[in-house]
Amino acid sequence: MSNHDGVHASHCCVVHGCKYRDDDCPVQLGTIEQKFMCMDCEADGIESTSTPGGKHYLDLSKRFMGEITHHVGSFQAYYHERHKADPAGFPVNDSEEFFQSLREQLSDFLIHGRPDEEVSPLDEAP
């Protein structure tokens, strides 16, 4: 345990990252617990995921995102059926890129608990 671990525990966040931009932040790696909610969490109105309430919130979010991923797959199948009936009205090339981007971002959230990018795939909808 380094002599900076206490500083990380007091300032860094498992959701919003290391406030010192360290790649080996012990809070991010899960080797020490986050002691306080970070200012970004307070601004976002969420609890720290190192607290029991925060973990529950994150678990619910991941389950919800899993359900959305399932529905995206169902909608994609529906879209392809519509494409067969009306190719001009439902172009596949545009939709494939959108669905792939959406699946990747949902998968990233399910694995890491947050998206890599700030841009929502819904902002890029065809």
pLDDT band for position 50 (cuts 50, 70, 90): low
Say if residue 122's pLDDT is above 80: no
Reported as a single tens digit per residue, the pLDDT across 54-99 is 566 666 667 777 777 777 777 778 777 888 888 887 777 766 777 7
Q: Is the dihedral of CA 5, 11, 15, 21 positive or negative?
A: negative
Residue burial 102-118, b: 16+ Cβ < 10 Å; e: rest: beebbeebeeeeebeee
Q: What pTM did the predictor assign?
A: 0.35
